[in-house]
Amino acid sequence: MINLATLVARRRLFGFALIVVILFSGLLLWPAAGQAQDPVLPAATPDGFAGLETYAERCANCHGATGAGDGELIAQTDNPAPMPFDAAYIRQAMPSVMFQQITNGEAAVGMPPFGPASSNPIDEPGRWNLVAAVYSLATPPEDVAAGQELYAANCAACHGDAGLGDGPDAATTDPAAGPLNDVTYWFNRSNDTVTADLAPGAIPAHDYDLAEDDLRRVVHFARTFSYTFADPVALTEPIAAGIISGVVTNGSSGAALAETEVLLRAFTPELEETLTLTTTTDAAGNFRFDVTDTPPDWVFIAGAAFDGLNFSSSADQLSRSRTALDMPITVFDKTTDAAAVNVAQLHVVMEFANDLVQVNQLYIINNAEQAVFVGPTGDPAEGVIEVGVPEGAQNLMFQRSFGAMDSFLPANDLVQTAGGWADPLPLRPGEGALTLLVSYALPYEDALTISHPVFYNTASGTIILPDSGVSVVGEAWTEGPPQTFGQAETFRNYSRGALAPGDTLTIELSGRPSVIADEATGGNVANRDTTTELLIGGGALLLAAVGGVFLWRYWQGRRADEEWEEEAVPAYAATAAPAAAHSERDDLLRRIAALDDAFDAGQLPEADYRAQREELKRRLASVWNK
């Protein structure tokens, strides 16, 4: 059986955790026992199971998986360790105050708000569920069990088995026994206050003689009439029953797909496929899978084939509080018409080294049609998205990304065409459906003209190069102010207007560079990743030039990414999905699933398969923590 700490780590890996910098990051300053503020009450009974799931995602980074105050972020910051959720803590904690602190934060101890003032708020029921989670973590389950036995022997005759005040002796007590599920009572009192209220002799009708420790155990149990206690161990046990359903819809026509086979896959935290089920949609396109005894850390993906292409749902997980998942699958018709394909931005970033100019061209490509573009011939293997490369290009390399620009993967499957090179992956609908990076080197002395055809409408172009004596000449390009971004080196930047299909992109360079990147001597610019990291900076520079948000990711030395090679994955080449519905995490999961398919079909050597899978897992772990 996995423990709560393991569950926390695995949920963080799979990304339902949006990591906050500090949650409850200092000592929580609770009022003295019994000192209440204006009543704050939940609209429904807080659920400890749901609260523990939220806690694992949002709180454990600081408080630790079990509430011991030993979260991993505490060791990385100067903040004091938060008060542990233990017996001493829970004796004086007051639910209404806990809720207010979670909602509004505590600036004095570095705790941010998680109510409406937060940039990533937790809704009101969720914050109350966190209160129930804290009680569940701080209250030993054996104390609750012992308290239940003591309650049955000493209290149930009057207060009733469920604390409703309906026990057989309720009518004969003076004063009359009241219900114990009154949230007004429980949520504005600490356990210390309640224990003092129940001390021997405090209430005439209470003629029991219980030791203080036993009385506290009764209070632990009686408080569960106001919230759902969740034993953290039970949270990691298999989910007895779950439902995974959805509808398969054609995003091009809007029609539901009847009698269509749907494949459900489950993956372990190690990304090993552990379950495969199939079913068929009904006349309305609906599908349903009933699963039993599934670990809560499994990740599910549903998929369907349509017109020779594979389509997938988003990835999702069952949980103790969410035992039904809606996982719709949207498929699309295919098209060979490139009219809807356009390049939203074309960045060209250059640097000079050893009588060469390194050119990196970043294409951000949109597909405005509600159909999957499969290339002009209709056979993706013959090429889909085409890019031009100038004559004489050396060390040609391609990389692609389906998400952030720092998550490129080598693309060694591009095919050569009459006019350039073409990516064989079908292009899904949406903005930013594909980001393609083309890198090459050309000989350079003191002048050079770079030119190649453009195949799609291109909204704008930008050139970034070091301010080292080389300039871009010609009327097509307009120079903007130089940029430094806090670095020692200054960059020149140029921009130009739109290009139409069939136009030629021409870049005329003039001047001899006075400073070069010489890796052999460790000169001015050493250890620079000229393919990925420079492009991140170049793309961001364009954003800065047009007033966007710029985060400078400068030369981080990702040479391991350059050295890792990826073979073509035919199964993934047929995967397409709406950009709005799928994140980079989902894309990486699909790549892993497709890679497994390709290996099972004998299309990849085992050594290549293992290397690619480990790299994809590494990428997935990094993006799911964002």
Residue 493 above 70 pLDDT? yes
Q: What integer pLDDT is reported at residue 487 of this predicted model?
A: 55
Q: What integer pLDDT is reported at residue 503 of this predicted model?
A: 97
**Domain spans, the chain:** 1-237, 238-334, 338-558
Question: 114: closest CA among 184, 70, 62?
Answer: 62
Residue 618 above 90 pLDDT? no
pLDDT band with cut points at 50, 70 and 90 for residue 583 = low
Contacts of 418 (CB under 8 A, 6+ apart): none
* pLDDT average, residue stretch 289-313: 94
Radius of gyration of the chain (CA): 31
pLDDT tens digits, one per residue of 42-91: 989 999 989 998 998 888 888 888 889 888 877 777 677 888 999 999 99
Q: Are 223 and 134 in contact (CB under 8 A)?
A: no
Question: 363: closest CA among 382, 378, 344?
Answer: 344
- Distance of alpha carbon 448 from alpha carbon 463, whole angstroms: 15
* Same fold? 238-334, 338-558: yes
pLDDT band with cut points at 50, 70 and 90 for residue 166 = confident
Contacts of 478 (CB under 8 A, 6+ apart): 494, 495, 496
Scanning the structure block, which residue is given the tokens 């007004």? 184
- Distance of alpha carbon 381 from alpha carbon 568, whole angstroms: 11
The alpha carbon dihedral of 526, 531, 532, 537 has a sign of: positive
Helix (H) or strand (E) segment spanning residue 63: helix 60-63
- Tokens for 303? 């998929």
Question: 101: closest CA among 174, 156, 31?
Answer: 31
| Residue 195 three-state SS | helix
Contacts of 329 (CB under 8 A, 6+ apart): 246, 247, 248, 249, 262, 302, 303, 304, 311, 312, 313
Q: Is 208 exposed, middle or buried (0-12, 13-18, 19+ CB in 10 A)?
A: middle
Q: What integer pLDDT is reported at residue 585 of this predicted model?
A: 62
Question: 404: closest CA among 561, 585, 548?
Answer: 585
- Distance of alpha carbon 152 from alpha carbon 459, whole angstroms: 75
SS (H, E, C) 289-301: EEEEEECCCCEEE
pLDDT band with cut points at 50, 70 and 90 for residue 558 = very low
- Distance of alpha carbon 449 from alpha carbon 468, whole angstroms: 18
Q: Are 485 and 534 in contact (CB under 8 A)?
A: no
Q: What integer pLDDT is reported at residue 18 of this predicted model?
A: 24
- Distance of alpha carbon 525 from alpha carbon 531, whole angstroms: 14
* pLDDT average, residue stretch 175-198: 83
Among left, alpha and beta (phi > 0; psi -120 to 50; other), residue 566 is beta
- Tokens for 51? 């609260």
Report the CATH fold assignment for 238-334: Immunoglobulin-like (2.60.40)
Q: Give the strand pairing for 394-401 and 385-387.
A: unpaired
pLDDT band with cut points at 50, 70 and 90 for residue 205 = low
Question: 516: closest CA among 470, 562, 481, 449?
Answer: 470
Residue 496 above 50 pLDDT? yes
Q: Are 338 and 344 in contact (CB under 8 A)?
A: no
Scanning the structure block, which residue is given the tokens 């948000």? 549
Lowest mean pLDDT among 108-112, 299-303, 415-419, 583-587: 583-587
Q: What integer pLDDT is reported at residue 443 of this predicted model?
A: 96
Q: For residue 170, give the DSSP letter.
A: G
pLDDT tens digits, one per residue of 99-122: 999 999 887 767 788 999 988 899
- Distance of alpha carbon 448 from alpha carbon 427, whole angstroms: 34
Overall residue count recorded for the chain in this entry: 626
Average pLDDT, the chain: 79
- Distance of alpha carbon 64 from alpha carbon 57, whole angstroms: 11
- Distance of alpha carbon 313 from alpha carbon 264, whole angstroms: 10
Question: 372: closest CA among 249, 251, 247, 454?
Answer: 251
Q: Are 399 and 409 in contact (CB under 8 A)?
A: yes
- Distance of alpha carbon 386 from alpha carbon 388, whole angstroms: 7
Q: Are 411 and 462 in contact (CB under 8 A)?
A: no
Residue 402 above 70 pLDDT? no
Question: 409: closest CA among 624, 601, 613?
Answer: 613
End-to-end C-alpha distance for the chain, whole angstroms: 28
Q: Which CATH number fits domain 338-558: 2.60.120, 3.10.450, 1.10.287, 2.60.40?
A: 2.60.40
**Bond into 232 cis (ω within 30):** no
Phi, psi of 12 (to 5 degrees): -65, -40
